Homo-oligomer: A and B are copies of this chain.
Amino acid sequence: MTQVLIIGAAGMLGQKLTRRILTENTFGPADRLTLFDRAFSDTAPGVTPLTGDLTQPGMIQSLAARRPDVIFHLAAIVSGQAEAEFDLGWNVNLMAMWDLLSALRHEHEASGGQYRPRLVFASSIAVFGAPFPDRIEDDFLCAPLTSYGVQKAASELMISDFSRKGFIDGLSLRLPTLCVRPGKANLAASSFFSGIIREPLNGDCAVLPVPDTVRHWHASPRAAARFLTHAAALDTDQLQGRNALNMPGVSCTVAEQIEALRNVGGQAAVDLIKPEPDATIGNIVAGWPRDFIPERARALGFEAEGSFEEIIKTYLEDDFTG
């Protein structure tokens, strides 16, 4: 049986992943699934929830000592907070990764080399920074423009090296912006990409702070959860040492998002979108990737939606409660 640990399981993606694993029985019985986060509002029956702070001394070592076969690492201080709270961002997003890798290496060595867990790390397209080519290829440099992006990129490098040395068997997935996010709007600069779809479908107004010519890279939360379980089962020899992968997604402009909304929700939904240009958000978004050619990930079997309309339909199926 496969022991599975999800670090950062209480977040939106962690919940999607948990549900996917339980529904599809990806790894086997649910009592082998351990969820870790700072707090949980609720968890599925038969699942072990563990609460704690990753930066608390001994916490990561105790997680590693359980010797999970598969570890999903989704915990992060998000972009805006990592900019505002510099030390917290580095401690959680990089130093905790170092501590996790060191603890897993310790278990590897203590096991006489038998224990070598699969580690699937949720990285981000924030590892890239402008200026960009129109479409980013798999061998484009990481030049992040945020501390969050730097911490993700440095984590990827560490995972590659610990994997190359054989201590773990890890890989990093650079996730697109997840859209449509369920729930309420948050303070992330990217929040409007989901808001302009989610709120109108609920009959509520949504603010659009950027011109509708802005192009961006999206995948649904369902696709992201599928990327993660696909990565857990991947033959990593195929990576040939390049353990960070640009995930597939849908590249579209805000105008194309709105057109897809019209097709699904009608003109009445579109009329609820209120353009209110915000220069701050506009400048942040201008530094984000717009499009990728994720050849390697596609060749390895990672699949996203084929269109933004499909992304909206995924939201309606998985999360819409209106």
Segment touching B, from A159-167, A194-202, A203-211, A263-271 = A159-167
Q: Do residues A142 and B140 form an inter-chain contact, with CB atoms below 8 A?
A: no
Q: Which residues of the partner chain B approach A145 to less than 8 Å between Cβ atoms?
A: 164, 241
Taking a contact as CB atoms under 8 Å apart, the answer to whether A140 and B141 are in contact is yes
Q: Which residues of the partner chain B approach A157 to less than 8 Å between Cβ atoms?
A: 142, 144, 150, 153-154, 157
Please tell me the size bucket of the interface on A: 20 to 34
Is the CB–CB distance between B154 and A158 below 8 Å? yes
Flag whether A18 is at the interface (Cβ < 8 A): no
Please name all residues of chain B whose beta carbon is closer than 8 Å to the beta carbon of A141 when the two chains form the complex.
138-142
Residues B158 and A150 in contact, CB atoms below 8 Å apart = yes
Q: Does A294 contact B (CB under 8 A)?
A: no
Q: In the bound complex, do residue A143 and residue B86 qualify as a contact, i.e. CB atoms below 8 Å apart? A: no
Report how far A145 CA is from B241 CA in the complex, Å: 7
Separation of A27 and B139 alpha carbons in the complex (Å): 40
Q: Kindly report which residue of chain B lies nearest to residue A131, judged by CB atoms.
A: B240
The 5 A-B pairs at the shortest CB distance, nearest first, are namely A150-B161, A154-B154, A150-B157, A139-B141, A154-B157
Task: List residues of A whose CB falls within 8 A of some B CB.
Answer: 86, 129, 133, 138-145, 147, 150, 153-154, 157-158, 160-161, 164-165, 241-242
Jot down 15 A-B pairs with beta carbons below 8 A, ordered by A. Answer: A129-B241, A138-B141, A139-B140, A140-B141, A141-B142, A142-B142, A142-B157, A143-B241, A143-B242, A144-B157, A145-B164, A147-B161, A147-B165, A150-B158, A154-B154
